[in-house]
Structure 1
Amino acid sequence: MTIPTLENQRVRLAPLELSNYKHLIPIGKQDKLVQFSPTKIDTPEDLKAYVQTALEQHKQQTALPFIIFDKQKNAFAGCTRYMNINWTNKVLEIGSTWIGKEFQGTELNKNMKFLMLRYAFETLGFEKVEFRVDERNLASRKAVEKLGCKLEGVLRKNVYLLDGFKRNTCCYGLLLEEWNEIKETVFEGF
């Protein structure tokens, strides 16, 4: 499947490729940007390997990776993807999302998630979208909850982080039948 470009007045999500990932090198170097993730992106080599993994998952039809461009700031902001795509059961996860600290706390993330949720439900025909967040990452958990997602459970000690810590992962979900209400309330005016 071809990776689409999703955009509105605030953000453009374009296919993440080996030809454009270098725009993210300065962001990947930011201290503790992905401290709650098993991801290593702080060197150009690590970031390239990260992108190659995402592209391999795309070839296997289990991921659609995007590079994020903030139109308001006229700058590349980070990346995100659809991942763990289960075409049979019509369930996918939005994850591997990281944006530079200068973009956090703005409306950028909400705009991204609106575009991704709308495309997943209304174009791809998925029936459920999931988010998985480190239990300690309160900012990300609050952001997912503001989108109207429901906490479905906690996977205990299921992922090792780079520092050897084994995290608990909060599993959130949003169902197709919840989407229309969420779209009209949480994303009013989008």
Structure 2
Amino acid sequence: MFDWQPNFLENELIKLIPLRETDFEELYEVASDPLVWEQHPNKLRYQLEVFQNYFEGAMLSKGAFLIRDQKTKEVVGCSRFYDYNENDNSVLIGYTFIGRKFWGNGYNKALKKIMLDYAFQQVDKVYFHIGAFNIRSQKAIEKIGAIKVDEFEVEYYGEDAKLNFVYEIAKQDYE
């Protein structure tokens, strides 16, 4: 069984801490920038009521993490593990967003490395759902070795279904 939410995961750049209700204000401060969601399937997540839905889904997932900068302790963003599949021995990583201040500075790569290193202690495959028009995230995930394997409509928690590309990284290809 996949352990969705260890007490923390960290490297020299960031620390992932299980998301708590009390993190809402700090996280929304990062999420309230419309440009963070510019290429995302739900471009309105910067709006308070839309973000509240995202946050509720994150809390219910029991796999969401608040991402903090190790040096400044600033909130970088959020990500989560979800949809563990025992038959396929796989898990998804997603619902990720990172504040613009942290773009292009190695934070996304550090985040994915921490999460993949952890996941591959327990599963053989990791999948990512990435919006069909989110070119920035598609390029980033391809840089770390993910391969597009499918595309289909994904229904995010409390939102309409949107076309997503499915990317996969297999354990043997990652190590």
Coarse TM-score class (shorter-chain normalised): 0.7 to 0.9
Could you tell me which runs of 5 or more consecutive residues in structure 2 were left unpaired when the two chains were aligned. Answer: none
Task: Please give the alpha-carbon distance, in whole angstroms, between the structure 1 residues aligned to 2:11 and 2:25.
Answer: 23
| Match of residue 141 from structure 2 | 144
| Match of residue 133 from structure 1 | 130
Residues 37 and 46 in structure 2, CA contact (< 8 A), matched pair in contact too: no
Q: Deviations over 1:141-164 (max 9, x none)?
A: 010000101111222xx2579xx9
Residues 80 and 96 in structure 1, CA contact (< 8 A), matched pair in contact too: yes
Task: Please give the alpha-carbon distance, in whole angstroms, between the structure 1 residues aligned to 2:41 and 2:88.
Answer: 26
Residues 38 and 160 in structure 1, CA contact (< 8 A), matched pair in contact too: no
Task: Please give the alpha-carbon distance, in whole angstroms, between the structure 2 residues aligned to 1:93 and 1:159.
Answer: 13
Counterparts in 2 of 1:166 and 1:14: CA distance versus 1, 3 Å: closer
Taking CA–CA contacts closer than 8 Å with sequence separation of 6 or more, which of the two structures ends up with the larger relative contact order? 2
- SS of structure 2 residue aligned to 1:94: strand
Q: CA shift at 1:50, angstroms?
A: 2.3
Task: Please give the alpha-carbon distance, in whole angstroms, between the structure 1 residues aligned to 2:31 and 2:64.
Answer: 16
Are residues 1:49 and 2:87 paired? no
TM-score by length of 2: 0.85
- SS of structure 1 residue aligned to 2:101: helix
Point out the more displaced range, 32-41 or 93-102. 32-41
- SS of structure 2 residue aligned to 1:74: coil
Counterparts in 2 of 1:133 and 1:2: CA distance versus 1, 3 Å: closer
RMSD between aligned residues: 2.5
Are residues 1:70 and 2:73 paired? no
Aligned pairs for 1:1-190 within 5 A = 3-4=5-6, 5-35=8-38, 36-38=40-42, 41-58=45-62, 64-122=63-121, 125-155=122-152, 158-159=153-154, 167-180=162-175
Task: Please give the alpha-carbon distance, in whole angstroms, between the structure 1 residues aligned to 2:123 and 2:55.
Answer: 25
**Matched length:** 169
Over alpha carbons, which structure has the higher Rg? 1
Could you tell me which runs of 5 or more consecutive residues in structure 1 were left unpaired when the two chains were aligned. Answer: 59-63, 181-190
Q: Deviations over 1:106-150 (max 9, x none)?
A: 10111111000000002xx11110111122211110100001011
- SS of structure 1 residue aligned to 2:41: coil
Point out the more displaced range, 48-57 or 77-86. 48-57
TM-score by length of 1: 0.78
